[in-house]
Amino acid sequence: MWSRQRKRVVSCFECKRKHEVSDAASSTNCPGCSAHIDLRDYKIATSFSRSIRTRGDVNLTTKGDLSSTSVICTSAIIEGKLRGNLECEDSMTINLVGKIPGRIGAHHMIVERKSDIQCFRRVRVTNIDIKGRMSGEILASGAVTIHKGGTLDGTVTAKSIAIEKGGMFSGQLAIGQANLTQGELLPEAKAAGKKAEPEVPAGGAQPLHAT
């Protein structure tokens, strides 16, 4: 007997309409606006500079060098050099030692234990789990979790933060904020008369250990 074909639901990049497609399909057209939707997975093992917009996944291997100005995908695994901009609709797993000069963002980001990354642009996430070392600015509409052995050095604006015993945070912290806009991050740009959300300083640049 033939096995039943597996399907998944994808949304259009243009009109956001969702529809069902076969897991085996490499592309589809939106039934609403007829826009083309790439469904392919991309494995990058050499230098790559073309833009990617797919409802598939991206795997940047240790020998890969991604310098694209725009990469949009469902999920990504980052093990190679990332110099461009990357946005994941679902998850991004980083297992890398190095600098990330481009913009990165994901619904759920994981910085693995062997990672040691320095992010030069603001990192936008819903939730982030830090198991290795990370420095940079994080804007999270959900939770920031620093696991045992994890280290975060930088500025964090998030709805909540949790630091496991053995984890460490050093920098500035503002928690209890959700649905943040860029203006809300800058004191001088806050709208007049708007009630500020509670901010909890983390002692400037003093390390904050879990107890």
pLDDT tens track for 81-108: 999 999 999 999 999 999 999 999 999 9
Lowest mean pLDDT among 6-10, 72-76, 116-120, 166-170: 6-10
For range 155-170, the mean pLDDT = 95
Structure confidence at residue 87 (pLDDT): 97
pLDDT, tens digit, 9 for 90 and up, residues 8-45: 999 999 999 999 999 899 999 999 999 999 999 999 99
State how beta strands 36-38 and 168-175 pair. unpaired
The CA-atom distances, in angstroms, between 154 and each of 72, 123, 137 are 26, 11, 6
Task: Return the pLDDT at 5.
Answer: 72
Percent of the chain predicted with pLDDT > 70: 82
Q: Is the pLDDT of residue 125 over 50?
A: yes
CA-based nearest residue to 54, from 65, 66, 44, 42: 42
Does position 77 have pLDDT exceeding 80, yes or no?
yes
Strand partners, 161: 144
Q: Measuring CA to CA, which residue among 94, 95, 81, 88 is closest to residue 44?
A: 81
pTM: 0.81
The confidence score (pLDDT) of residue 81 equals 95
211 pLDDT tier (thresholds 50, 70, 90) = very low
Distance in angstroms (rounded) separating the CA atoms of residues 154 and 168: 11
Pairing of strands 18-22, 7-11: antiparallel
Single out the residue of 3, 39, 42 nearest to residue 24, CA to CA. Answer: 39
